[in-house]
């Protein structure tokens, strides 16, 4: 009898222990979010800090971050997605959101986390416009950038220019650059007036300012064959070919600017952080890019990436995580640590930004920003830069170069639109 009681007792104890263990396991079961993004030391540190805080607030969530060098990012991301072993949350360029959404690779932001109306009321339109697919938003904006003018006040003073008054028009920019530019006896540049590098977003920005349409609404394809685009391209290439205030042989414009040898440089606000880190002794300022004519448009191209959620990931928690990464608090920290601009309406007019000598012009530029209408990544920089080089290196006319660009752009865009077709 006692033996039986012992036996049943042991059995009950074993069952109780087993139940307890399994309950414990299920209570401790964590959702793991695998998050991929392209690498920069400052970005990685910031995301790691966000992940720690998010995990603290959500104890059942574990976030694994993988920071992939930008050059290898798609080489790693695409095969992983195809093999079904991709990350739960990751970033892609803004223009590619429609293709990924149409392919079913990513899922819309969970409405329990943010509704369409909420997203539209909280973010500026240019930053989210391209993320909408079939009436739903497929991501949150990150790495938002415009184009601003960086300048060196010390070189301004040396050239007899007022550092408190950066150039306001294209003509003024040329005059300022001519005053700064220096050459030695052999004609070799020793100090450069201005640097654009023929960088795609800068050239597009100048075209936008000049009122170039860039997009054929009838065909829904890029079109650069307009007098405004020709004029803008002529202006930017003339800096190198006619006025000789930009010299490709002087070296990379941003490197040389950090060495205090370039007066003005067009660039993304993220350069603020990069300049401070790599050239802590450099004194520099930012300004909105000069308009074609006095009182003219100061529109700028908005470039951005999107944090998206894989279609195979757990919808609510992953949406919550990407929303957390782009919350108002998070965006403030992004701006502080990496120079990324906030895309939330409420943040653009914060006194701390308005009174910041470097950030104020960047925030103003955000208000005037326009997203690119195309999806082809080659149009973001590669094809525009080639167009610029056709003029500066091969002596083509701006009109002929833009004709070539339109042909190539249409080809590239058609390919990408075909990919976005379900």
Partner 1 sequence: MSAKTTTMRRCGGNERKYRWYRFQKASAPYIFILPGVVFYLMVTIVPMIMGFWMSFHNWSIIRPTQPWVGLDNYRKLFADPLFWTSMKNTLVYSIGVVPLQMILALLIALLLNTGIKGRKFFRLLYYLPVITPMSIAAVIWTWIYHPNLGIFNQIVRFIGLRPQDWLGNPDWAMFSVILVAIWAGIGYRMVVYLAALQGIPRTYYEAAEIDGAGRWDAFKYITLPLLKPTTLYILVTSVISSFQVFGLVNVLTGGGPLNSTQVAVSYIFKRAFGDLQFGLAAAMSFVLFAIILAITLIQWKFLGKEVTYE
For binding to partner 1 (CB under 8 A), which residues are involved?
Answer: 71, 74-75, 78-79, 81-82, 99-100, 103-105, 186, 188-189, 248-251, 256, 376-378, 385-386, 389-390, 393-394, 412, 415-416, 418-419
Q: How far is the CB of 252 from partner 1 (least distance, A)?
A: 8
- Strands 89-93 vs 31-38: parallel, antiparallel or unpaired: parallel
| Cβ at position 102, least distance to partner 1 in Å | 8
SS3 call for 203: helix
- Pick between residue 368 and residue 377 the one whose CB is nearest to partner 1: 377
**Closest Cα to residue 211, out of 293, 108, 120?**
293
Shortest CB 72 distance to partner 1, Å: 9
Residue among 303, 268, 309, 421 nearest 373 (CA): 303
Least gap, CB of 11 to partner 1 (angstroms) = 48
Least distance between partner 1 and beta carbon 360 (Å): 32
Q: Beta-carbon neighbour count of residue 242 at 10 Å?
A: 11
User: First CA to last CA across the chain, in angstroms?
Assistant: 72
Quick one: tokens of 298?
């100061």
Query: Which H/E stretch holds residue 132?
Result: strand 132-133
CA distance 167 to 193: 12
Smallest distance from the beta carbon of 393 to partner 1, in angstroms?
A: 6
> Is residue 358 classed exposed, middle or buried when 0-12, 13-18 and 19+ CB atoms within 10 A define those classes?
middle
Distance from C-alpha of 1 to C-alpha of 195, rounded to nearest angstrom: 95
Burial of 94 (0-12, 13-18, 19+ CB in 10 A): buried
Question: Whose Cβ is closer to partner 1: residue 4's or residue 249's?
Answer: 249
Q: Which is nearer to partner 1, 197 or 292 (CB)?
A: 197
Nearer to partner 1, 366 or 401 (CB): 401
Beta-carbon contacts of residue 131 (< 8 Å; ≥ 6 apart): 94, 97, 137, 138, 139, 140, 141, 306
CB 131 → partner 1: shortest distance, Å?
16
Report the Cα 100 to chain-centroid distance in Å.
18
Nearer to partner 1, 17 or 82 (CB): 82
* Closest alpha carbon to 94 in 67, 126, 60: 126
Q: Whole-angstrom Cα distance, residue 354 to residue 337?
A: 17
- Closest separation between CB of residue 3 and partner 1, Å? 52
What's the token pair of residue 262? 């370039």
Q: Kindly tell me which of 257 and 324 has the beta carbon lying closer to partner 1.
A: 257
- Longest Cα–Cα distance in the chain: 113
Tokens of residue 107, six digits: 């899922």
CB of 192 to partner 1, least distance (A): 9
Q: Could you tell me the smallest distance in angstroms from the CB atom of residue 93 to partner 1? A: 11
Q: Which is nearer to partner 1, 197 or 273 (CB)?
A: 197
- β-strand partners of 137: 132
| DSSP letter string, 61-102 | EEEEEEEE-HHHHHHHHHHHHHTT---SEEEEEGGGHHHHHH
Nearer to partner 1, 54 or 199 (CB): 199
The nearer residue to partner 1, 302 or 412, going by C-beta atoms, is 412
Nearer to partner 1, 247 or 340 (CB): 247
């Amino acid at each position: 009898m006692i033996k039986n009681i012992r036996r049943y007792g042991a059995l009950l104890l074993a069952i109780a222990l087993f139940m307890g263990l399994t309950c414990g396991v299920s209570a401790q079961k964590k959702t793991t979010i695998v998050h991929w993004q392209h690498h920069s030391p400052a970005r990685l540190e910031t995301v790691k800090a966000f992940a720690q805080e998010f995990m603290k607030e959500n104890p059942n969530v574990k976030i694994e971050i993988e920071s992939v060098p930008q050059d290898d990012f798609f080489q790693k991301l695409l095969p992983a997605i195809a093999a079904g072993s991709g990350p739960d949350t990751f970033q892609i360029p803004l223009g590619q959101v429609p293709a990924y959404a149409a392919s079913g690779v990513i899922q819309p932001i969970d409405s329990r986390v943010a509704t369409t109306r909420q997203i539209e009321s909280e973010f500026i339109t240019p930053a989210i416009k391209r993320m909408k697919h079939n009436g739903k938003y497929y991501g949150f904006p990150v790495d938002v950038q415009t184009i601003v003018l960086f300048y060196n006040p010390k070189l301004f003073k040396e050239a007899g220019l007022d550092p408190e008054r950066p150039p306001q028009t294209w003509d003024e920019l040329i005059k300022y650059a001519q005053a700064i530019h220096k050459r030695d006896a052999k004609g070799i540049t020793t100090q450069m007036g201005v640097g654009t590098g023929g960088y795609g977003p800068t050239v597009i920005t100048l075209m936008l300012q000049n009122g170039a349409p860039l997009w054929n609404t009838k065909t829904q394809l890029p079109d650069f064959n307009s007098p405004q685009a020709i004029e803008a391209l002529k202006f930017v290439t003339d800096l190198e070919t006619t006025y000789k205030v930009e010299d490709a042989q002087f070296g990379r414009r941003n490197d040389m600017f950090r060495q205090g040898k370039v007066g003005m440089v067009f660039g993304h606000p993220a350069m603020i952080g990069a300049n401070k880190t790599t050239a802590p002794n450099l004194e520099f300022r930012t300004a909105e890019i000069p308009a074609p004519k006095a009182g003219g448009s100061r529109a700028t191209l908005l470039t951005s990436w999107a944090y998206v959620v894989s279609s195979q990931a757990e919808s609510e928690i992953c949406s919550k995580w990407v929303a957390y990464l782009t919350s108002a608090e998070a965006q403030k920290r992004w701006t502080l640590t990496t120079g990324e601009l906030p895309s939330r309406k409420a943040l653009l007019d914060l006194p701390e930004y308005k009174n910041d000598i470097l950030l104020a012009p960047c925030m103003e530029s955000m208000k005037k920003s326009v997203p690119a209408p195309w999806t082809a990544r080659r149009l973001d920089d590669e094809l525009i830069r080639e167009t610029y080089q056709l003029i500066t290196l091969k002596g083509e006319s701006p009109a002929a170069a833009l004709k070539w660009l339109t042909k190539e752009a249409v080809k590239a865009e058609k390919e990408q639109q075909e990919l976005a077709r379900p």
